[in-house]
Homo-oligomer: A and B are copies of this chain.
Amino acid sequence: MCDNYQVPGTPCMDSLHEECGVIGVYDFAGNNVASDIYYGLFALQHRGQESCGIAVSDTKGPKRKVDSYKDMGLVNEVFNPENLGKLQGDIGVGHVRYSTAGASVRENAQPLVLNYVKGTLGLAHNGNLINAAELRQELERTGAIFQTTIDSEVIAYHIARERLSSKTVEEAVVRAVRKIKGAYSLVVMSPRKLIGARDPFGFKPLVIGKRENTYILVSESCALETIGAEYIRDVHPGEVVTISPEGGIQSDTTLCMSKEKTARCIFEYIYFARLDSHIDGVSVYNSRIKAGKFLALDSPADADLVVGVPESGNAAALGYAMESGIPYGVAFMKNGYVGRTFIKPKQSSRADGVRVKLNAIKEAVNGKRIIIIDDSIVRGTTSGRIVTMLKEAGAAQVHMRISSPPFLWPCYFGTDIPKREHLIAYNHSMEEIREKLGADSLAYLKVERLEELVDGLSICKGCFTGKYPMEPPKEDIRGECFDQ
């Protein structure tokens, strides 16, 4: 979906800004958890390549002590045996972050670590609050100071204030999240407890895992397999779970709504999450296969080969091939080494940014009528380049199929869709888009198919329909964002 074509380690300026991954680990047997968090963050790296961090604490040690380390960069750039070895504790939280450039500074890396009335808190947050600016102003009007521009700080403030009149930290968390609106999957570490919270709509995923005496809260189930843990269940939309040796897993469901009101971000299934993860019982792999199948059913094309834009289009392409009977193939070689610090070609250079990352395989393409599947189109620039490369490689026809409906509306809950005027689907007809891309045909997944992708789960499809599960803010919240 990203016009700059997203490659490992390259925060795409035209893509998803508050996408993040969170993890919390608590080993009741008292062993160090930093290593588990490290490998867990690896498994979540696709959710954020800008910065990462780990904070750990010793539940048997002094109440005011947290060791943390965070910095800009990938997990394997930020952590080394030395700094990882200094993180000693049996409870901890971790975070990987992706954001827009404006706030891409070390100060905004997570987890947020702080002292408050009852000791320390560590917070890692995935999602986007729609009333964050409002809440900030409210807090500021009572004298609060903010040292970052991330929502976690707003949430932390509310927990700290609610803690004053709450019996337990989990009660404070429940009362705090009652005040925040929007998307959040939250992992909180207090001196003795690990707490997870998921917003009532369930926009963002959060699952519970276990390995012997160790409990894990993490954005995606794939991370559980990486660290050898067993999947227990998803945190329910609206649920706050508290993990402690005394209580095991305790659940507060006062914020939970009826199933029909929940609204998972459908883009987790279409693009964000890893193929080997499950969210709320639905396999991401299956969703993408289905998306491809629906495209084959609804928008067939007479062709010789089905290919995906690697990697995100491959699973849907497989589904399309299954349904249509047209052979699946590979059309592009992707260069996986183009990382975060890659020097982009200047205008003057004859090297082409897209071609450095992606190159068509002539033998696979030449003379063929190709169906190519991508997960989305935003501005259309990369898609156009891809069609051109296929044609230059000798493709007789190029039929583009998109495994999501057209983007027409902003997202207020964490997906960084550009302003409407930049969305190609907003100000062009389908036929105009096709012509701009140079494709022989073009089709998107039908909006009606979305629920089917996820076995009837209740989802948010606001970016396609403009109908949001909750009242969106009046103005585009992205403009108000402090740009510290």
A338 cross-chain contacts in B, Cβ below 8 A:
42, 76
Given that A79-B343, A140-B160, A483-B62 are known contacts, is A283 also in contact with B145, CB under 8 Å in the complex?
A: no
- Judge whether A81 is part of the interface by a CB distance below 8 angstroms: yes
Beta-carbon nearest neighbor of A158 in chain B: B143
- Judge whether A345 is part of the interface by a CB distance below 8 angstroms: yes
Whether B79 contacts A275 by the Cβ 8 Å rule is no
Report A432-469 CB contacts with B as 1/0, cut-off 8 Å: 00000000000000000000000000000000000000
Given that A81-B343, A318-B329, A362-B283 are known contacts, is A164 also in contact with B146, CB under 8 Å in the complex?
A: no
Report A267-286 CB contacts with B as 1/0, cut-off 8 Å: 00000001110000001011
Whether A64 contacts B276 by the Cβ 8 Å rule is no
Q: What total of chain A residues lie within 8 Å of the partner, measured CB to CB? A: 102
Q: State in angstroms the CA–CA spacing of A341 and B483 once bound together.
A: 31
Whether B116 contacts A339 by the Cβ 8 Å rule is no
Interface segment among A224-232, A244-252, A410-418: the answer is: A224-232
Q: State in angstroms the CA–CA spacing of A120 and B483 once bound together.
A: 11
A356 cross-chain contacts in B, Cβ below 8 A:
39, 42-43, 226
A153 cross-chain contacts in B, Cβ below 8 A:
145
Report A81-123 CB contacts with B as 1/0, cut-off 8 Å: 1001000000000000000000000010000111111001100
Each complex incorporates copies of this chain amounting to 4
Whether A35 contacts B339 by the Cβ 8 Å rule is no
Q: State in angstroms the CA–CA spacing of A433 and B361 once bound together.
A: 35
Q: State in angstroms the CA–CA spacing of A248 and B443 once bound together.
A: 50
User: Which of B49, B116, B318 is A146 in contact with, Cβ under 8 Å?
Assistant: B116
- Judge whether A394 is part of the interface by a CB distance below 8 angstroms: no
- Judge whether A367 is part of the interface by a CB distance below 8 angstroms: no
Given that A143-B160, A285-B361, A361-B275 are known contacts, is A76 also in contact with B115, CB under 8 Å in the complex?
A: no
Interface segment among A346-354, A373-381, A399-407: the answer is: A346-354
A283 cross-chain contacts in B, Cβ below 8 A:
361-363
- Judge whether A179 is part of the interface by a CB distance below 8 angstroms: no
Which residue numbers of A lie inside 8 Å of B, CB to CB? 8-9, 35-36, 38-39, 42-43, 45-46, 49, 62, 64-66, 68, 74-77, 79-81, 84, 107, 112-117, 120-121, 136-137, 140-147, 149, 153, 156-157, 160-164, 211, 222, 225-229, 274-276, 283, 285-286, 289, 314-315, 318, 321-322, 327-330, 333, 335-343, 345-346, 349-352, 355-356, 359-364, 482-484
